[in-house]
């Protein structure tokens, strides 16, 4: 395991052999890694995950080491009942559909197996909170209770089975004595020196600017979704999910398929991972396509400055003519301007695939004594995803070129379908008179 950003870890307490300790590591963009030999060999365990930024892993119970629960950025919570062999999505709350609680900051579990989670909200509005699950992570119920006024939550602690503590983005500390049903502010009881650390506007240490960009999802990405694996077409009307593609499939982040988009998280911090100083400006831009999200930010001060941001890069190109296929080579740029930490720019490249297209387009007046040839481009940009069909009864699959053979002396229509983007285009043939 090299060159991985590790955000969280959990050790299986049931393993006692010093040479066979089981450890799980949550990464920034690479999902979950697991070792069963005390760290010599690591394996990726992402089956079922749709978000690969793992912020937190709940402590593992010695009595049921097969049960795992983790929190992600933009994906909510995932849980496993077979030691990370398969990750499941909760059927209620704190999942990708619960848009205000997709950013999970912390997870704890009591001795009876009751899980608690804190969320940050969606990063823009204070709508996160505390959630509780009594069935190993399958169902989550909000436990914000009375008194928890600040719901941008960053951390969570548990004492016994009833007492909870949570810390907030706005430097508040809350306590609950009844499993989260009621909360009260305990900031007034903090030591004076600790309170000063919370409120000072001076950074104890800061260094040069560091930027990272991590892709976390794609409109057509199914790399971590066992319910939607890569597909290979059998004929013009059929795809078989059991046949692997021989060419890049879903999850190939080097291209953004036409009408699709990719979601990224990017971090801006000093060398030690701290927020940059107040007044730092962040601008994100792309040379082509549309960019949504945290494109223009100014950090307010050294304590409240945030380090993790989100972008969605959309491929909206129609017809470019920039290359033989019409695809565009595009660049995403993150530019940081900081008087104290120093200016920095980081670029990331993508191929924006052109719309699905048949050449020649429209109606071709063909010579009845010659074959009629067509070429498919765009969509996903991968011919292995293409299906062809014509009104004369011909079909083909997984090819870039399609031919209507002699003898032909009638009008016909050719249809090209991209089995990934689900787009279909057509062209016509008409004999010369």
Q: Is the pLDDT reported for residue 237 higher than 70? A: no
- Is the residue at 245 inside a domain? no
User: How far is the C-alpha of 430 from the C-alpha of 339, rounded, in Å?
Assistant: 67
Q: Are residues 384 and 336 in the same domain?
A: no
Distance of CA 211 to the CA centre of its chain: 18
Q: Are residues 40 and 169 in the same domain?
A: yes
Contact 64, 114 (CB under 8 A): no
DSSP-derived secondary structure for 360-398: S-SEEEE-TTS-EEEEEE-TTS-GGGEEEEETTS-EEES
- Is the residue at 90 inside a domain? yes
Of 245 and 304, the structure prediction assigns the larger pLDDT to: 304
Q: Are residues 280 and 412 in the same domain?
A: no
The per-residue pLDDT of the chain, averaged, comes to 82
According to the model, what pLDDT value does residue 249 have? 40
Q: What are phi and psi of 285, to 5 degrees?
A: -150, 160
Q: Are residues 322 and 384 in the same domain?
A: no
User: How far is the C-alpha of 166 from the C-alpha of 182, rounded, in Å?
Assistant: 12
For 356-374, the pLDDT digits (tens) are 999 998 888 888 888 899 9
pLDDT-based confidence at 223, cuts 50/70/90? very low
287, 317, 352: which is the final residue of a domain? 352
Of 194 and 177, the structure prediction assigns the larger pLDDT to: 177
Q: Are residues 344 and 371 in the same domain?
A: no
According to the model, what pLDDT value does residue 252 have? 56
pLDDT-based confidence at 306, cuts 50/70/90? low
Q: Is the pLDDT reported for residue 379 higher than 80? A: yes
Task: Give buried/exposed letters for 148-160 (b at 16+ CB in 10 A, else e).
Answer: bebbbbeebebee
- Could you tell me the CATH number of the domain that includes residue 395? 2.60.40
Q: Are residues 44 and 160 in the same domain?
A: yes
User: How far is the C-alpha of 314 from the C-alpha of 219, rounded, in Å?
Assistant: 9
Burial class from Cβ neighbours inside 10 Å (0-12, 13-18, 19+) for residue 405 reads exposed
According to the model, what pLDDT value does residue 326 have? 81
For the whole model, what pTM was predicted? Answer: 0.60
Question: What is the CB neighbour count within 10 angstroms for residue 120?
Answer: 26
Among 144, 48, 44, which residue's Cα sits nearest to residue 90?
48
H or E element at residue 218:
strand 209-218
Q: Is the pLDDT reported for residue 105 higher than 50? A: yes
- Is the residue at 233 inside a domain? no
Torsion of CA 138, 142, 144, 150, to 10 degrees: 90
Q: Are residues 73 and 89 in the same domain?
A: yes
Q: Is the pLDDT reported for residue 342 higher than 70? A: yes
Q: Are residues 20 and 81 in the same domain?
A: yes
According to the model, what pLDDT value does residue 245 have? 38
Question: What is the CB neighbour count within 10 angstroms for residue 138?
Answer: 15
CA atoms within 13 A on the CB side of 1: 21
Q: Are residues 47 and 185 in the same domain?
A: yes
* Total number of domains constituting the chain: 3
Lowest mean pLDDT among 198-207, 222-231, 384-393: 222-231
Q: Are residues 27 and 148 in the same domain?
A: yes
- Is the residue at 262 inside a domain? yes
H or E element at residue 196:
helix 192-199
Q: How far is residue 26 from each of residues 73, 120, 183, 251, measured CA to CA in Å?
A: 11, 18, 30, 19
DSSP 3-state of 189: helix
User: Could you check whether the bond before residue 407 is cis, i.e. omega within 30 degrees of 0?
Assistant: yes
For 259-292, the pLDDT digits (tens) are 999 988 898 887 766 777 778 899 999 999 999 9
Q: Ranked by mean pLDDT, which of 17-26, 190-199, 203-212 comes out on top?
A: 17-26
According to the model, what pLDDT value does residue 224 have? 35
Of 409 and 388, the structure prediction assigns the larger pLDDT to: 388
According to the model, what pLDDT value does residue 320 have? 52
Percent of the chain with pLDDT over 90: 43
- Could you tell me the CATH number of the domain that includes residue 339? 2.60.40.10
- Is the residue at 102 inside a domain? yes
Q: Are residues 316 and 363 in the same domain?
A: no
Which residue is listed with tokens 């290359």? Answer: 323
H or E element at residue 199:
helix 192-199
Q: Quick one: CA dihedral 242, 246, 249, 252, positive or negative?
A: positive
- Is the residue at 278 inside a domain? yes
Contacts of the segment 161-165: beta carbons below 8 A, 24+ positions apart: 161/110, 161/111, 161/112, 161/114, 164/108, 164/116, 164/130
User: How far is the C-alpha of 395 from the C-alpha of 411, rounded, in Å?
Assistant: 17
299, 331, 352: which is the final residue of a domain? 352
Q: Are residues 340 and 311 in the same domain?
A: yes
- Is the residue at 118 inside a domain? yes
Lowest mean pLDDT among 82-86, 95-99, 371-375: 95-99
Lowest mean pLDDT among 93-102, 151-160, 213-222: 213-222
Q: Quick one: CA dihedral 205, 207, 209, 212, positive or negative?
A: negative
Q: Encoding tokens for residue 387?
A: 């299906």
According to the model, what pLDDT value does residue 201 have? 39
Contact 172, 187 (CB under 8 A): yes
285, 320, 352: which is the final residue of a domain? 352
Name the residue range of residue 408's domain: 357-431
- Could you tell me the CATH number of the domain that includes residue 139? 2.130.10.10
pLDDT-based confidence at 236, cuts 50/70/90? very low
Contacts of residue 189, Cβ cutoff 8 Å, sequence gap at least 6: none
R_g of the chain computed on alpha carbons: 26
Among 86, 29, 80, 21, which residue's Cα sits nearest to residue 55?
29
- Is the residue at 23 inside a domain? yes
Question: Which residues lie across from 103 on neighbouring strands?
Answer: none
């Amino acid at each position: 395991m090299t060159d991985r950003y590790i955000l969280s870890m959990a050790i299986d307490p049931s393993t006692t052999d010093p040479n066979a300790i089981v450890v799980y590591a949550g990464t920034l963009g690479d999902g979950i890694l697991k070792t069963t030999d005390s760290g010599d060999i690591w394996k990726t365990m992402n089956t079922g995950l749709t978000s690969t930024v793992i912020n937190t892993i709940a402590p593992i119970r010695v009595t049921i080491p097969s049960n795992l629960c983790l929190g992600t950025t933009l994906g909510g919570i995932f849980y496993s009942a077979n030691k990370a062999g398969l990750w499941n999505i909760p059927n209620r709350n704190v999942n990708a559909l619960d848009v205000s609680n997709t950013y999970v900051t912390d997870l704890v579990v009591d001795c009876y197996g009751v899980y608690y989670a804190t969320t940050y909200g969606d990063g823009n509005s204070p709508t996160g909170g505390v959630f509780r699950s009594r069935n190993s992570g399958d169902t989550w119920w909000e436990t914000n209770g009375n008194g928890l006024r600040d719901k941008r939550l960053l951390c969570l602690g548990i004492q016994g089975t009833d007492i909870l503590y949570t810390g907030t983005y706005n430097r508040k500390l809350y306590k609950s004595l009844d499993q989260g049903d009621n909360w009260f502010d305990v900031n007034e009881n903090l030591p004076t020196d600790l309170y000063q650390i919370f409120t000072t506007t001076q950074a104890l240490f800061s260094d040069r600017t560091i930027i990272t960009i991590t892709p976390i999802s794609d409109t057509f990405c199914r790399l971590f979704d066992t319910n939607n694996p890569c597909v290979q077409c059998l004929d013009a009307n059929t795809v078989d999910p059991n046949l692997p593609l021989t060419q890049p499939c879903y999850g190939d982040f080097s291209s953004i398929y036409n009408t699709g988009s990719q979601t990224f998280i990017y971090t801006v911090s000093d060398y030690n991972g701290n927020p940059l100083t107040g007044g730092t400006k962040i601008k994100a831009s792309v040379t082509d396509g549309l960019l949504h999200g945290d494109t223009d930010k100014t950090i307010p001060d050294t304590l409240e400055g945030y380090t993790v941001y989100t972008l969605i890069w959309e491929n909206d190109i129609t017809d470019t003519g920039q290359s033989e296929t019409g695809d565009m080579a595009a660049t995403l740029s993150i530019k940081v301007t900081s008087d104290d930490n120093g200016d920095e720019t980081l670029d990331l490249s993508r191929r924006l695939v052109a719309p699905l297209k048949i050449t020649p387009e429209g109606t071709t007046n063909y010579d009845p004594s010659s074959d009629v040839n067509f070429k498919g481009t765009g969509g996903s940009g991968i011919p292995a995803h293409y299906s062809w069909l014509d009104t004369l009864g011909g079909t083909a699959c997984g090819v870039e070129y399609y031919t209507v053979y002699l003898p032909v002396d009638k009008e016909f229509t050719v249809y090209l379908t991209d089995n990934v983007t689900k787009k279909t285009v057509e062209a016509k043939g008409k004999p010369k008179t």
